[in-house]
Amino acid sequence: MLIAAVAILAGGYFAVDRFVLSKRAAEAEPASAAALQSVAPAPSTTPEKSIAVLPFVDMSEKRDQEYFSDGLSEELIDHLAHSADLKVIARTSSFQFKGKNEDVRTIAGKLGVANLLEGSVRTSGRAMRITAQLIRASDGTHLWSQSYDRQMSDIFKVQDEIAGTVVEALKATLTSGTADSASRERNLDAYNLLLKGNFFYERSHPGDYEQAIEQYKHALELDPNYALAWARLARVYIWQGYSPNASIAEQESKARDALQRALSIDPNLAVAHRWLGRFYFNYRWDWAAAKTEFERAMALDPNGNDGRYAQDDLLVLTTAITGRFDEITRHVSEELARNPLDIRTLFFLGGVLCYGGHLEEALAIQRRLLELDPAYLGAHGGAAMTLLLMGKNAEALAETEQETDEESRLEKLALIYWALGRRSDADSALRKLENQFADFAAYDIGGVHAYRGEADTAFTWLERGYGQHGGNMPFLKIDPLLRNLRSDARYKILLHKMRLPE
């Protein structure tokens, strides 16, 4: 399955806006016992300085301001995340309760927090009413509530006031703000369009990326010096490069130009440095340059979302190069402990554990994900790969038959049928995979041939994948389906071309 489909259509936390260790397990050093223990649910003790921001409800007359209410919630999450002593649940966990009418104690228990911030938004023209309330989950007490009848031009002040009041009520400490705030607080109409772009990007329904690009471009027509809008536009271009009908060269050029514009306007924009790192990783395979940019984003936004995502990206890069999984397993497990319903983190951790050969742990995480969202793109395929590597071929087949991503389904069928000794069915699935997806999934096809012991054909497809700039090429070193190739001189040549150490 394409990295873009897995990581972004499901849309980063780690993804989401982030890299996914794709679909495979790998031979690597065992993870530490402490790291694997942290896969288990978080301890029952809930820190008092902990909070989840639930999605604010759109109460506008036409109920057409969901993008704005979602945007406000996301901005508050990011504001509060800059408190070093406050546990803040990520968007992908708290938004699990969007549109659901669950008891506050139940929600807080599932998220592992002591406090909830909820509210509503009503807009009319340039006027807005924002209502916010801070609730202590243990007894449902309202620690604070406030309504803000303001003009839209005051939105940034209201965000700061709400965040400041919350941290004061919880006796936490808030830093001076995000590195991106100066870039964000510009033309109000442009900001509104940015929120619309973010909404479509996060929703990720068919056609939403195009809608996001349109909104970002409109924002930049109003404010050509809107650095954050340039960075968000580059983010979509980078992921679009791995869509079936996209031109890698065209998307690379668009992403590069947008990032250059963003950083020429604001050299200290953390999100732009983070996505420049992704540009070097995805398109240039320049590991040193990617590392520099990730570290720059972390330094500029040490407590915020972009800094944390950049740390995730850096760990993926390090794992792909070194083949060691200890650090990334520990890190992602800690993220899951902080955000137990973060679906993208569950998917990512399942992949990390599978890659690292911790198959029982991987399957437990993948099962938990499927309980939360049985339709999550790639989730059944990920569980099927783990089951295949465990030798549970019949269960792997049953799991694969539920996968809705056709490329992933055919790839798994080709592998599982081969493992079951059903050679004719395996050949049929492989032919369909080649006929339908050769133009952008050559690497995956090469992996199937490698698994079958067909080295010459495998290298032909892998070289084709290299020419396609396939999204999984950076994981060449840690792909267990390529084990049969590792003693072949052509494998070492391919590693060298990818600038990956042997």
Domain contains 230? yes
Question: Within this chain, do residues 77 and 135 fall inside the same structural domain, yes or no?
Answer: yes
Last residue of a domain, one of 302, 333, 349: 302
Containing domain of residue 201, as a range? 185-302
* Closest CA relative to residue 147, chosen from 133, 166, 137, 160: 133
Tell whether 141 is covered by a domain: yes
**Do both 161 and 198 map to the same domain?**
no
- Considering the domain architecture, whether residues 192 and 277 belong to the same structural domain is answered as yes
What CATH number is associated with residue 141?
3.40.50.10070
- Decide if 287 is inside a domain: yes
pLDDT value at position 495?
96
Pair 350, 22: CB distance under 8 Å = no
> Does the residue 352 lie in any domain?
no
Query: Is the same domain home to 141 and 166?
Result: yes
Q: What is the pLDDT along the chain (502 residues), one digit of tens a residue?
A: 323 333 322 223 223 232 333 332 222 333 333 443 444 444 457 889 999 999 999 998 888 899 999 999 999 998 898 887 898 998 888 988 998 888 999 999 989 999 999 999 999 888 999 999 999 999 999 999 999 999 988 888 999 899 999 999 998 876 654 444 544 456 889 999 999 999 999 887 888 999 999 999 999 999 999 999 999 999 999 988 777 667 888 889 999 999 999 999 999 999 999 999 999 998 999 999 999 999 999 999 988 888 888 998 999 999 999 988 888 888 877 777 777 787 877 888 888 888 888 899 899 999 999 998 898 889 999 999 999 999 999 999 999 999 999 999 999 999 999 999 999 999 999 999 999 999 889 999 999 999 999 999 999 999 999 998 888 899 999 888 998 999 999 999 999 999 999 8
475 is a domain residue? no
Residues 148 and 107 in one domain: yes
Whichever domain contains 279, its CATH number is 1.25.40.10
pLDDT of residue 175: 66
Same domain, 211 and 155: no
CB atoms near residue 210 (< 10 Å): 12
Indicate whether 390 belongs to any domain: no
Residues 166 and 77 both lie in one domain:
yes
> 137 and 205, same structural domain?
no
In a shared domain, residues 193 and 131: no
- Dihedral over Cα of 319, 333, 386, 281: its sign: negative
β-pair partners for 135? 116, 142
Task: Count up the domains in the chain and report the number.
Answer: 2
H or E segment and range at residue 51: strand 50-53
pLDDT at 114: 94
Burial (0-12, 13-18, 19+ Cβ within 10 Å), 501: exposed
Q: What is the pTM of this model?
A: 0.82
Mark whether 205 and 298 lie in a shared domain: yes
Same-domain pairing of 214 and 156: no
Give the Cα separation of 21 and 316 in Å (integer).
Answer: 7
- The domain boundary residue, chosen from 254, 284, 302: 302
Q: Which of 302, 332, 353 is the last residue of a domain?
A: 302
